[in-house]
Amino acid sequence: MADMRNDKARKDAISKASGRETYVGDLSLDGMIYACLVRTSVPRGIIKSITLPPLPDGYYYFDDRNIPENGRNELWMIQKDWKCFAAGSSGYVGETIGILCGPDRTLLYSLRDQIKVEYEEQTPAVSIEDSLALVGGPIIGENNYHCTVELQAGDGDIDEIMKNAYRVVEEKFSTGHQEHMHLETNGMMVNYEDGKYVYYASCQCPFYIRKSVAGIIGATPEDIIVRQMSTGGAFGGKEHFPDVVAGPLILAEYYLKKPIKLIFNREEDTQFSVKRHPSVVKFKTALDRKGNILAMDSIVYYNAGRYLASSYIVIQRGCMHIEGVYKFPVARTRGYSMATNTFPSCAFRGFGAPQTIFAVETHMTHIAEKLGVDPVEYKRRYLIKQGDTTITNGKIVENVRTPELIEKVCKASDYFEKSRKYGFGSGKGIGFSLYNHGGAFTGNGESAIIKAVVKVCKRKDGTVLIKAGQTEMGQGFSSAVCRIAAKTLGIPYEKVIYKYPDTSVVPDSGPTAASRSTMVPGNLVMKACEELKARWDEADELECEAHYEHPEGYPWDQASFQGYAYLGYGWGACVVEVEVDPRTAETKIKGIWSAHDVGNCIDPLIVHGQVNGGIAQGIGWASTELLENKGGYFKQHSMSDYIIPTSMDLPAQEVYYANEPYKWGPYGAKGMGELVFNGSGAAYVDALSRAINRKIDSIPNPTEVIMGHILHSEKLTEDKR
């Protein structure tokens, strides 16, 4: 491992621990007023009229009718389909109708409650099944497909293989919405300063906001400055969603030219923000007489909601991870991002991979159980290795150390002895999962779309300033990147400075997403520092920059999704042990063991924290985090009825590492922020299934669902042959 001087504290440790850190909610500028959003209250319908109460002096309302003649009612994300304002129709509950501004928040909310909106309601399609059945008529196109993906690898006609197989195992798996539940809710402030629209934002991707909202007022991205504030958590929930907050704000600022602050309360953030995509994954797997897999066919459906947002990329990544850590002789997957009348789904830690990894892991476990084979031993047969072909017909570039990860967690947890001892239905269960995650943007995304740039600046006082568009949102980037620079330059860690990005000061180094921040921009910082070190004595002040260059020899065809989707993967293995009370269905987690290959750990303490948090978040997704959407309305509204695991619900985790350095990462580091979420849910469900001897094919599984499984579900042992 590279020595990254782990004795030093995080860059933001003291300010956050002492409470001195400044968040958007702490900002106050002279003349500042507040804003709140007026939202639709039906999932699908025509807006017939909007009636405002009398507005006192100093209070203002704006909607699509106020967009200037050269502006457009659109937010530019991947596409421009998401409207800034509902403009005559409601596509989901919570769609922005207008923005209300004024100096007193209490009066502002009272005025909002007095606004009357008359609808002609229509029948909504809320679930994936509704969308496929075209309930209420198509939402988009003829079939409600936002987008589709089809991938196939291996030799042979998969349909013929299915016809001639000794046995075909068919299963369906489903996952629900998940709320990000970041500590700090969504919020930002906008102010017109020196001819520019300046945002102070809690966000992951400052450059996204500029691009997304400029067209609303007929401006250019250069007319907008985004200054990232300290961001109290994101998990993907502040990747594209800040665009939705920023859009109405820029229209209000266009007219008012005074500071306007918009901060969501917790109930708003839970009801009216993006979530993880619900999914349905169907498998047909062909086996020979000995139980060997001949081919695996799958169909993947994600509930994208009314607008596309990031769903095209999410469904791609989901389909590209459908084989998990395995290599099958023939594999095919077809993915569909479905339009529904629910709040649009968007980025969430794992970005589409957790849904398909949960499905394939659980499917493999069920096949093993049907055959009377321990799932660990069965899964070992199909582990992908260096040089093997992926489902996009690229190859695995790196040495895959999954066998070592399996040994570590199985030995530490005493998996095989406990598996034999607990059996099925004893109230105790131990579960196992494997998982991976491709680092950085898929295919040529880094070279053709993002084209990241970073700069490092030597200053007269001997300090070095890092200029990058990457954001610190609690994950530790600001500390890790300073360690990389200090190591490369051979200077004290304290002499390296990272500041929250300001788009008028830093270059665009791409979004803080896709497990890429350390792996890609961090590597560019290392390269820029190498040049700076070589030129150190040239001047008292010196700036060097580095541009992303894709390694040669690893082609990608974006039109067909063929080639090397990812050059580096993180790899993981997880074991979870549970105990279930058969009378109350209360479940206690007794042990968690995980092992990961994330290349070289730049900052081991930060990596350890990410592992613990990601594993816990994955278990929450699979267990208690029930977020129901009934008829287009989210039923859970707050932290009192949307239950996330706390430190009191989980035992101390045991964490192990293998270190397979990434060839193109800074000091061998790979991406790992999403990897650590991807597998713990499947391990938890496996353990729960064994403890109650019931087949479980969906998540989440709160106590009431577990009781339903105990009373009604199919027994695992009865399905064995």
Over residues 646-655, the pLDDT tens digits come to: 999 999 999 9
What is the Cα–Cα distance from 40 to 119, expressed in whole angstroms? 9
Confidence of residue 8 (pLDDT cuts 50, 70, 90): confident
According to the model, what pLDDT value does residue 224 have?
98
Mean pLDDT across the chain = 96
- 402-450 residue pLDDT tens: 999 999 999 999 999 999 999 999 999 999 999 999 999 999 999 999 9
Do residue 408 and residue 467 come from a single domain?
no
Do residue 76 and residue 191 come from a single domain?
yes
The predicted model gives 284-309 an average pLDDT of 98
Do residue 676 and residue 542 come from a single domain?
no
* Domain CATH number, residue 582: 3.30.365.10
Number of domains in the chain: 3
Name the one residue in this structure whose structure tokens are 């502006």: 71
Do residue 358 and residue 425 come from a single domain?
yes
Last-in-domain residue among 484, 515, 547: 547
Do residue 410 and residue 463 come from a single domain?
no
Q: Is residue 507 part of a domain?
A: yes
- 623-636 residue pLDDT tens: 999 999 999 999 99
Do residue 108 and residue 237 come from a single domain?
yes
- 458-494 residue pLDDT tens: 999 999 999 999 999 999 999 999 999 999 999 999 9
Contact call for residues 55 and 32 (beta carbons, < 8 A): no
- 44-80 residue pLDDT tens: 999 999 999 999 999 999 999 999 999 999 999 999 9
Q: Indicate if the pLDDT at residue 2 is higher than 60.
A: no
The predicted model gives 157-179 an average pLDDT of 98
Length of the chain: 721
DSSP state string for 41-99: -SSSEEEEEEEPPPPPTT-EEEEGGGS-TT--S-B-SSSS-B-SS-TTEESSTT-EEEE
Contact call for residues 521 and 509 (beta carbons, < 8 A): yes
Q: Is residue 179 part of a domain?
A: no
Domain that holds residue 92: 33-122+186-263
Strands 167-175, 279-287: pairing is: antiparallel
The predicted model gives 539-559 an average pLDDT of 96
- 103-113 residue pLDDT tens: 999 999 999 99
Q: Is residue 28 part of a domain?
A: no
Do residue 499 and residue 409 come from a single domain?
no
According to the model, what pLDDT value does residue 721 have?
32
Q: Percentage of residues in the chain with pLDDT exceeding 70?
A: 98
Q: What is the pTM of this model?
A: 0.96
Residue 604 in tokens: 């081991």
According to the model, what pLDDT value does residue 714 have?
82
What is the Cα–Cα distance from 118 to 45, expressed in whole angstroms? 10
Q: Is 553 helix (H, G, I), strand (E, B) or coil?
A: coil
According to the model, what pLDDT value does residue 719 have?
47
Do residue 431 and residue 576 come from a single domain?
yes
Do residue 211 and residue 100 come from a single domain?
yes
Q: Indicate if the pLDDT at residue 572 is higher than 70.
A: yes
* Domain CATH number, residue 69: 3.90.1170.50
Contact call for residues 130 and 43 (beta carbons, < 8 A): no
Do residue 117 and residue 249 come from a single domain?
yes
Do residue 423 and residue 466 come from a single domain?
no
